[in-house]
Amino acid sequence: MPQPVLSHQWVHIQYQENSAFTETYGFSGSQGAVNLEGLLISTPASSRDVVFLMMHPSSTLQLLPLPPALAAAGYPVLCMGTRYAKNDTALIMEKVALDVGACVRHAREVLGFARVVLMGWSGGGSLALFYQSQAERPSIHCTPAGDVVDLSAARLLPADAVVLEAAHRSRAHCLRDWIDPSVLDEDNPDRRNPEFDLYAPGLPVRPPYPADWLVAYRAAQLARMRRITARVHDTLDTLRRRGGAELERGFVTHRTLADPRFLDGTIDPNGRVIGRCYLGVPETVNSGPVGMARFSTLRSWLSQWSIDDSRANGEACARDISVPLLAIEHGADDAVPQPDIGLMFDACASNDKLMQVVAGANHYFQGQPGPLQESVAMITAWLRQRGF
């Protein structure tokens, strides 16, 4: 059967915003306005009844397999980047929520869609829940650093439904699970504790890792994160006391992909390939340029990476959600911890929620057209059962 012809319409959204300093490089980020870009993927036969809005804090999603597959099934997909697309160094989650709000409003008021479904893929899942919680029950007036970003006054429009797919609880939770606890000195990553140096030949334990060692390892991960957070708070306080024009500072967090579960299939078991992860060889990614939280500003650390400060916690935000929710776990996810999507599903306050599993699916459906179509069938059936 021939596939429908897909159209790809460029979408540009601009809205005014005043900021104390420039956060995103270039003309578009320095002229007192926020600029968002994306693609509306659809077929000539698509209606303006329902649109999926796919967003991620920092990634652009139009090249994933799912958007064109959903569009081919008859549901237009609006893939939008945030102001921090492809560079999360200065990302503020509260401002990302404003970006999502601008896209929801544009989908309804400009593009003319009657209903908007938030499609939360991977890190877009906790973002979707964070946005929806603030749209339904607004409560945030400022960022964790104390800067005014008033979501309670933003008139965020709630979406009509939320779909979570291959989604984790938050960027902060992922970093807590992945950060390398062996690092003893943030300025010298070669100073490491051999008891927790996961990839070192001399590590005293081997998979399956002993339970008591895992408990100590997880505690050391959390302790490292909190040391970084304390340093961030101290530096921000120092800059404020000085009262000068230096308002922000960047820093590097070394070695951020050392989760034992990538080497031990007995930890949160699923069908993932052991010794690999969604970004490649875990040991290489641990110190590579695309490691999670590798480059960050002080304010961004508190807003998106600090386990104690970030508000974009999908599990907590799900408690405020009343609209229909579909949660889809990938049965061989090689990125997201297996329990995460179930924890968000259990926490969700909606009276209309469903959880399903795509057996054997890796994080990106890489080389998996069968599981991809199974997911599309799950999503479209769920929507049609609810009159979407």
Tokens of 116: 């908007």
Q: Which of residues 271, 295, 319 is at a domain's end? A: 295
Per-residue pLDDT of the chain (388 residues; tens, 9 = 90+): 677 899 999 999 999 988 878 888 877 777 889 999 999 999 999 999 999 999 999 999 999 999 999 999 999 999 999 999 999 999 999 999 999 999 999 999 999 999 999 999 999 999 999 999 999 999 999 999 999 999 999 999 999 999 999 999 999 999 999 999 999 999 999 999 999 999 999 999 999 999 999 999 999 999 999 999 999 999 999 999 999 999 999 999 999 999 999 999 999 999 999 999 999 999 999 999 989 999 999 999 999 999 999 999 999 999 999 999 999 999 999 999 999 999 999 999 999 999 999 999 999 999 999 999 999 999 999 999 999 9
**Domain match, 160 and 213 both:** no
Establish if 1 belongs to a structural domain. no
Look at residue 361 in the predicted model and tell me its pLDDT.
98
**Domain match, 26 and 64 both:** yes
Which structural domain, as residue segments, surrounds residue 138? 7-170+310-385
Establish if 111 belongs to a structural domain. yes
Secondary structure (3-state) at 289: coil
Q: What is the CATH number of the domain that holds 334?
A: 3.40.50.1820
In angstroms, rounded to a whole number, what is the distance separating the alpha carbons of residues 112 and 126?
26
Look at residue 2 in the predicted model and tell me its pLDDT.
72
Tokens of 105: 């409003």
Find the DSSP H helices in the chain. Answer: 66-72, 93-109, 123-136, 171-178, 211-242, 282-287, 298-300, 314-317, 340-347, 369-385
Establish if 138 belongs to a structural domain. yes
Establish if 265 belongs to a structural domain. yes
- DSSP summary character for residue 199: T
**Domain match, 287 and 373 both:** no
**Domain match, 20 and 146 both:** yes
- Number of neighbours of residue 51 by Cβ within 10 angstroms: 27
User: DSSP letter string over 149-166?
Assistant: --GGGS-PPPPSEEEEES
**Domain match, 315 and 230 both:** no
**Domain match, 332 and 205 both:** no
Indicate the helix (H) or strand (E) that contains 77.
strand 77-80
CA atoms within 13 A on the CB side of 129: 35
**Domain match, 281 and 185 both:** yes
281: exposed, middle or buried (C-beta count within 10 Å: 0-12, 13-18, 19+)?
A: middle
Look at residue 139 in the predicted model and tell me its pLDDT.
98
**Domain match, 159 and 41 both:** yes
**Domain match, 43 and 108 both:** yes
Look at residue 119 in the predicted model and tell me its pLDDT.
99
The domain total for the chain is 2
In angstroms, rounded to a whole number, what is the distance separating the alpha carbons of residues 275 and 200?
14
**Domain match, 277 and 203 both:** yes
**Domain match, 21 and 154 both:** yes
Q: Which of residues 243, 265, 295 is at a domain's end? A: 295
Beta-carbon contacts of 324 under 8 Å, excluding residues fewer than 6 positions away, are: 160, 161, 162, 350, 352, 353, 386
Establish if 336 belongs to a structural domain. yes
**Domain match, 40 and 156 both:** yes
| pTM listed for this prediction | 0.97
Indicate the helix (H) or strand (E) that contains 116.
strand 115-121
Secondary structure (3-state) at 232: helix
In angstroms, rounded to a whole number, what is the distance separating the alpha carbons of residues 287 and 260?
16
- DSSP summary character for residue 2: P
Q: Which of residues 295, 321, 354 is at a domain's end? A: 295
Establish if 301 belongs to a structural domain. no
Identify which of 97, 105, 94, 287 has the alpha carbon closest to the alpha carbon of residue 197.
287
Establish if 2 belongs to a structural domain. no
Establish if 144 belongs to a structural domain. yes
- DSSP summary character for residue 148: B
Classify each residue of 87-115 as buried b or exposed e, where b means 16 or more C-beta atoms within 10 Å of its C-beta.
Answer: ebbbbbbbbbbbbbbbbbbbbbeebebeb
